[in-house]
Structure 1
Amino acid sequence: MAKARQSLSRLFLNKPSTEELQHQATLKGLAEAAAGKPFILNDEPLRMMYLTPTCMQSVMRIDQPDQLLCAYSRAMMGFLLFNPNPKHIILIGLGGGSLVKYCYQNLPDCRITAVEINADVIAMRRQFMIPDDDARLRIIHADAVEWLPQQECNADVIFLDAYDIHGLVPSLNSAQFYANCYRQLNHSGVLVANVWGKPSVLTPMLTMLHQQFSNNVWWIKSADSYNLLVYAVKHMSRDFEQLHAIEKDSALHLNHPTLDLQWLTNNLQSIQDQRFKPTSENSKNLLQEELIKRLRTVLVHDGNVPQSYTEFKSLILNLDAASRFV
């Protein structure tokens, strides 16, 4: 008999420690003082941005501000397998600027445009050591839903890393929005989305991406959280087997030593079966059934995911120069 899948909600039923209760009280006090705005927690050497006491948005090492501390952010850089030499990256959602800083530092030939709807988040850019705007970097205060369709089609990568306390933002999770992303991407461009939620919530999103990107969609769960990273490629310039050759590229490893691209290629999931090509309502239904089945095998209890702030902090501080996805 198959083992029942553990509900993710059960992960939060353990009684918190005294230390955890004190941490929660600190966050509650900071949130009350912020009066509904994002707020910062300093716990040296870490600095964190919170949207609410239960929703951390970003974390940074004050002494190493360009380091990607969270496995999901390192996994988002997996777009390099599909497009190793981007010239323009658009980020939808700024947060603490982890990806902005990493790309600015490690992709010197790439222009970076970040679009953030929350002016209070942008106001924290200096506290999170985000570089000033220059010829390569622009941070724009705008609603991406309105801003994106007005742009020229010249992005090699679009990072979709914008969510609220409920997960996917409805206006950024529609067939129309994904169509706009598709139009803004160059021929071999990649949309990379960081999302979280139940399989029943994520399945419609993946279905829309399959329809828009002709089934060129891959996904993987982060190694230290329940975030799902999704890669949608406009036109595949190589078959999947060639990705293994790219991840062995010495230049990629030299320029990005903290990204374990081999782990990524070994664990990416996709549905390439032509039976699920969404050309009819019936095939769409079959695709959704297969997607939710796959997601239910991925989004299950994971002992590697920190269950408290203490565990999270320990995980982050134990990263070193050779840190990997796992």
Structure 2
Amino acid sequence: MKKTRQSLSSLFLKQVPAAERAHIRRLEEIQKVHEGHPFHFDDGNLRIMYLNPKCMQSAMKLDAPDELVCAYSRAVMGLLMFHPQPRHILLIGLGGGSLVKYCYRHLPDCRITVLEINADVIAMRDLFMLPPDDERLQVIHCDAVTHLQDNCYDADVLLLDAYDENGLVAELNTAEFYAICHANLVENGIMVANVWGKTSALAGMLSRLRQQFARQVSWTRSPDSYNLIVYAIKGALNQANEHAIKALSDQHPSLQFSALQDKLLSLPLSANYTDTEVELAALKLSLSTIMVPDANVPQNYADWKKQIDQ
């Protein structure tokens, strides 16, 4: 049996406070009504999607549904530093549709295709104010692994943001699936993965991505959680210069590209790690500088909501 994903920053949380336990009990009561299916919870101006009481999937402000509430999603949009004008984005994992809504609104010349395996999640799209399918947006109910084996997309960007009630989906973070993702990108396309886990597991994911993407892989940790955001480039690396960063920041003021660029980590392209164990050790060392207890990461729901409300 798979282990249920721990909530928020519980990789480092030693003791769950009473208020957090009460909040989880309230969510458990809501989940019973929904008979174990994904559900939403409204708290003031926030609407939150949960896959289970310990797995917050997505959050939305009711008065600003296109805003990227969670910092990890803003970091994902760092993809624009590498590919500022994508024509087609392929997104694996719909959730509450935060990334879909942002891209639909702010990238008007871009087509968006979403692959989502959970019909219950798709059924909640109106609750999270996603636009209907049209010539620019298509949400497909499918298993991404089998779908991408039978269909080929020439995507400029592939966003891998797939979680289920047990956490990160292991089948979507294998060398075989990374190869499928690589094949569905145009030359000079970018794959962005939102991943989570222990340093040893994250190092293995980075190593597999580096092998598939000719070592052109960078990563950063989300400022408000312990999620790792990984950028893997197919073809020639084309990272924005200072002038381009300024232009992007003017177009997307909420994304803070300069701060994000300063926090990007990678291994030198000149370093030829022929020994996998040596490469893994170097990756673990890099991750150890950012995957550490951080006072800026909320330790419970109350702290998280306070940070969001600021």
Global fold match (TM > 0.5): yes
Report Cα offsets for 1:182-226 as digits up to 9, x if no partner: 111111111000011001111111111000000100000000100
Match of 1:293 among 278, 285, 297: 285
Report Cα offsets for 1:50-89 as digits up to 9, x if no partner: 0111110000011110000000000000000100000000
Q: Which whole-Å CA distance do the structure 2 matches of 1:174 and 1:113 have between them?
A: 22
Q: Which whole-Å CA distance do the structure 1 matches of 2:217 and 2:11 have between them?
A: 30
Q: Which whole-Å CA distance do the structure 2 matches of 1:15 and 1:129 have between them?
A: 33
Amino acid at match of 1:253: S
Aligned partner of residue 11 in structure 1, secondary structure: coil
Match of 1:308 among 274, 284, 300: 300
Q: Which whole-Å CA distance do the structure 2 matches of 1:286 and 1:167 have between them?
A: 28
Q: Which whole-Å CA distance do the structure 2 matches of 1:290 and 1:110 have between them?
A: 37
Deviation at residue 228 of structure 1 after TM alignment: 0.4
Deviation at residue 9 of structure 1 after TM alignment: 5.5
Deviates more, 1:157-166 or 1:109-118: 157-166
Amino acid at match of 2:225: S
Q: Which whole-Å CA distance do the structure 1 matches of 2:196 and 2:187 have between them?
A: 28
**Match runs of 1:274-289 below 5 Å:** 274-277=270-273, 280=274, 282=275, 284-289=276-281
- Paired position in structure 1 for 2:220: 220
**Match runs of 1:230-241 below 5 Å:** 230-238=230-238, 240=239
Which has the larger helix fraction? Answer: 1
Q: Which whole-Å CA distance do the structure 2 matches of 1:108 and 1:73 have between them?
A: 19
Report Cα offsets for 1:248-292 as digits up to 9, x if no partner: 2x2x22321101000111110001243334xx4x2x221111001
Q: Which whole-Å CA distance do the structure 2 matches of 1:10 and 1:95 have between them?
A: 22
Identity of aligned residues (%): 49
- Paired position in structure 2 for 1:4: none
Query: What TM-score do the two structures reach when normalised by structure 2?
Result: 0.93
Amino acid at match of 1:294: S
Q: Does 1:191 align with 2:191?
A: yes
Q: Does 1:14 align with 2:12?
A: no
Q: Which whole-Å CA distance do the structure 1 matches of 2:16 and 2:49 have between them?
A: 25
Amino acid at match of 1:309: Y
- Paired position in structure 1 for 2:245: 247
Aligned partner of residue 269 in structure 1, secondary structure: coil
Q: Which whole-Å CA distance do the structure 1 matches of 2:220 and 2:232 have between them?
A: 12
- Paired position in structure 1 for 2:176: 176
Aligned partner of residue 48 in structure 2, secondary structure: strand
Q: Does 1:125 align with 2:117?
A: no
Query: What TM-score do the two structures reach when normalised by structure 1?
Result: 0.89
CA RMSD in angstroms comes to 1.6
Report Cα offsets for 1:118-165 as digits up to 9, x if no partner: 000000000000000000000000011011233334100000000234
- Paired position in structure 1 for 2:4: none
Q: Against the structure 1 CA distance between its residues 175 and 90, is the aligned structure 2 distance closer, same or farther, given a 3 Å change threshold? A: same
Amino acid at match of 2:303: E
Deviation at residue 15 of structure 1 after TM alignment: 4.7
Q: Which whole-Å CA distance do the structure 2 matches of 1:199 and 1:295 have between them?
A: 7
Deviation at residue 30 of structure 1 after TM alignment: 1.0
- Paired position in structure 1 for 2:259: 263
